[in-house]
Structure 1
Amino acid sequence: MTETSPAAAPSTRTKPGVRRSGARPPEPAGGRREPFSRRYAAAVSILAGGVALYAMNLYFTAALLPSIVADIGGAPYYAWVATGFLMAAVIASMPVSRLLARLGASRAYLAGFTVFALGAACTAAATSMAALPVVRVVHGLGAGLVAGLGYAVIRGALPERLWTRAAGLVSAMWGVGTLVGPARPSRT
């Protein structure tokens, strides 16, 4: 049996910042900017954008509702406008995984954004407060779909190293909605 001294053993360590010849650099660990890189920017924008649409819509409707009631009346329907939207959104978010399995991510998003846009157009065109809760249900269905898809598609659209950052970004859209949603010009 032969003993080798530590000085005679080949070193596997290198100085910090120096690569051994032939060694590959480690794969990036998902830096802060990587989700916004050209490779992932479109997917991240769609994932976060759906939740941002939902959040902003929820908050600016709450901020505008007193003005809407002042313009078209219908105070007894006031609470139903928000309640219908929220209930529909929660119900629509429940079958998201089945919708993904059936349609795939692209077509599921297309369906969600189409229903959301239809609900938004009908909400904008509503001339009576009695019709507003009904069209807000349609709007809520689309919002629930795109928000639910925002969380459900992360694992399929991005590599595992970005899942945590993407979930954080998508969740941060609630803060964006809180800040941007109620911001509106005051009436003079």
Structure 2
Amino acid sequence: MKTALIVIDMQNSFLHPDGENYYPAAADVIDNVRRLIAAAGACGVPVVHVADRHRQGFEDFENKRLPRHCVSGGFNAEFFDGFGPSGRPNEIEIVKRRFSAFFATELALFLNEQSAEQVVLCGVKTNVCVRATAQDAFANGFEVCVVSDATNSNREHLAEASLEDIERYMGRLISTDEALEMLS
């Protein structure tokens, strides 16, 4: 089964101590996500680096529920050190303006063009962007695998509930080690 790795929101906003949405536990996923990217890159598996970015000075529906964040061109919107496309031929960037990396982006089209049948999801935050992406991946007909030790949230109880829902209704939970085997 052809697989793609989707790396969600590994940006300064969440991971850098000066980030506007920083939470200390975010750092716990960095090493595992880096291992997944390296394994995928070594084997030519498509890697999709997803960035949450919003436009300065324009209305954005997301701001009805959240403060303005990850403004394009700003520090918070940039990928955290060591993340984002590195120039390898199998890596792309998808910019999203909502929680799901699929909503109003070309992600499903890109994955279908690569003949991907399965997606491996990692990144931040489990109960928001990872969950929304998992749900839309399932709705778009992809087999969904979420790397449970390569995603987390600042709301641990919501992360746990989201992982339970993902496993029950949308896909399966795997460890970094299991994902590394799938990606190689």
For normalisation by structure 1, the TM-score amounts to 0.28
Which is helix-richer, 1 or 2? 1
For normalisation by structure 2, the TM-score amounts to 0.28
Instruction: Please tell me whether Structure 1 or Structure 2 has the larger radius of gyration of its CA atoms.
Output: 1
Which is strand-richer, 1 or 2? 2
Q: Which has the higher contact order (CA 8 A, sep 6+)?
A: 1
